Structure formats: structure tokens, C-alpha cells
Amino acid sequence: MFGRLVGIVILAVVISSDALSQQSLQELENMSQFKQALAAVDAIKHRKNLQCVIAIANRALCGCLSRKLPVNIYFRSYASIANQEKGPEYGQLSAADKTIVDQCVSDSR
């Protein structure tokens, strides 16, 4: 009887240990995917910054825009924004993004 009880306890510990190992492995995999996603976003922002600097030759403004604006905004819009044309690209920005653009333009002068 005691032997069976010990066997059941050992089996329960092994099963729970295996479940914890699987969970830890899944957490590590999720963390790795998250780090890869962050690296991809950083690469996109860096590329947008370079393209912007080539297009409008204002490193300070391009750096601010590429750092602060969401990555889904096309860099081509940066030129319109930088020239203060406030064209359709600017009009389509959210209020928060317009505030970012205005601050970046102001800070780069």
C-alpha cells in the first residue's frame, strides 16, 4: 500500500515536472519570437530613417519621425510631412500621430 502511494506521488511529480518543462520551453519560444519581431521593427525603422534622410536631407527630422511614428506609415509620407504641405498623408494621420509630426518638425528647426 505504501509502495503504491509512493509510486503515485513520484508519477505525479514527474508528470508535473514534464508539464513545467513544456511550459518553460513554450515561454522561451515565445520570447524568441518576440525578440525577432522587435528586431524586425527596428530594421524597418532604420531603413525608413535612411530613405527619409536621402529624400529630404534632414537627419534630425527623419530620426524623430522614424523613431516615433508607427511603422505602418510609409516613409514617402515623411517628405510631404517634412515640407509642411499637410497634404492627404498628414490629414489621414491620427490626432496622436499629427502631434508627433508637429513636434518632430518643430524640434528639427
Q: Where are the domains of the chain?
A: 2-107
How many angstroms separate the most distant Cα atoms in the chain? 85
For residue 24, give the H/E element and its range. helix 2-56
Task: Please tell me the pTM assigned to this model.
Answer: 0.62
State the burial class of residue 97 (Cβ atoms within 10 Å of its Cβ: 0-12, 13-18, 19+). middle
> 1-56 pLDDT, tens per residue?
555 655 454 545 545 555 555 667 677 777 888 888 889 888 888 888 888 888 88
